Homo-oligomer: A and B are copies of this chain.
Amino acid sequence: MTRKGSVQQQTRHALLGLSDEDVVQMYETMMLARRYDERGQLLQRAGKVNFHISGITQEPSQVAMAFAMDREKDYFLPYYRDYGFVLAVGMTVKELMLSLFAKGEDPNSAGRQMPGHFGHKRLRIVTGSSPVTTQVPHAVGIALAAKMRGDRSVSLVSFGEGSSNQGDFHEGCNFAGVHKLPVIFVCQNNGYAISVPMSKQTAGRISDRAIGYGFPGVRVDGNDPLEVYRVFKEAHTRALNGEGPTLVEVMTYRVTPHSTSDNDLAYRTKEEVEEHKAKDAVPAFRAYLTEHGLWSDEREQELQSRLREIIDEATTYAERAPFQPVEDAFRYVYAESSAQREGR
């Protein structure tokens, strides 16, 4: 949002190949994620749900990276703060709410897993777990499958910077490097792993690790969604061209506590948090749209009331929806044979 196009007649987003509708949609998706997330926090505070984990301030970059993907073909392995991302690739707020309320209709897990544990086969969102970083080798395996089959499909996997210290990060990246697999590794570096600040997590730069694996590593400002888009588009093109993986380190900041179970003021100051809140890319992106005549106060009002409606409706629906029947709680340990299914 800072740089302006040197060619005056073209906007920054047009130069990147994004239409006006695209950027408006990006903005709306960021805002949807933001409002959903805020509602999640409220619902937890009100005692309606037990737990919420937030992605606030990470959504702009999440949405931007989703827009750089092929949402018809690619495979996605998001992590628990990726609301902006999953909404952008097709999950609905209702589905997120069903997961937040742990209801049976939740497509992610039928209310078995914690919220933020995404999975949706139709959308090619690969089921994820809580132990961090295990999804990295999965993404590599999916990319290997694409290569073996000759599919023009890329897999994108994201994780926090703390999680990038797990062995699976190393093993997965290295494997993908050897075979130049179509995979994008995304480290959303928000400065903390629960209470542990970057300085106690690593002495290096996450993006620099790519050097050791023989593929490019890029650090990008997460508060600049158009730049994030550019970086991911490039990574996606490389992947499709058979040039192999890219590691992208998105620099962001976790403005909320780690989760609703955390008290972050035990390990950082309010000032530090406020400083980063001020850098929030959502109002900046709105300003960019307005500047280019793509947005107005009226549209904003319309959007906000539309989002409120969507979220209210989803909340009501999810709150009223039934839990998975306890008779079904133990199903699907293994594939059910047709005999088993009939027996029920």
Contact = CB atoms under 8 A, between A and B. Distances in A.
Using C-beta atoms within 8 Å of the partner chain, give the interface range for chain A: 20 to 34
Contacts of A166: 167, 170-171
Contacts of A180: 203
Interface string A117-135: 0000000000000000000
A244 B169 CA distance: 23
A174 B161 CA distance: 12
Contacts of A210: 212
Interface string A194-237: 00000111111110111111110000000000000000000000
A158 B234 CA distance: 38
Contacts of A169: 170
A302 B174 CA distance: 49
A20 interface: no
A177 interface: yes
Nearest to A198: B178
A263 interface: no
A168 interface: yes
Q: Which of A169, A170, A171 has the most CB of B within 10 A?
A: A170
A214 to B, nearest CB: 3
A212 B108 CA distance: 35
A165 interface: yes
A196 to B, nearest CB: 10
B202 A177 contact: yes
B213 A204 contact: yes
Contacts of A209: 209, 211-212
A199 to B, nearest CB: 8
Contacts of A206: 212
Q: Which of A168, A203, A205, A211 has the most CB of B within 10 A?
A: A203
Given A174-B202, A206-B212, 14 more contacts: A165-B174, A167-B168, A167-B170, A169-B170, A170-B171, A174-B204, A177-B202, A178-B201, A178-B202, A178-B203, A202-B214, A203-B214, A203-B244, A209-B211
Interface of A: 165-171, 174, 177-178, 180, 199-206, 208-215, 244
28 contacts: A165-B171, A165-B174, A166-B167, A166-B170, A166-B171, A167-B170, A169-B170, A170-B171, A174-B201, A174-B204, A177-B202, A177-B204, A178-B200, A180-B203, A202-B213, A203-B213, A203-B214, A204-B211, A204-B212, A204-B214, A204-B215, A205-B212, A205-B214, A206-B212, A208-B211, A208-B212, A210-B212, A211-B212
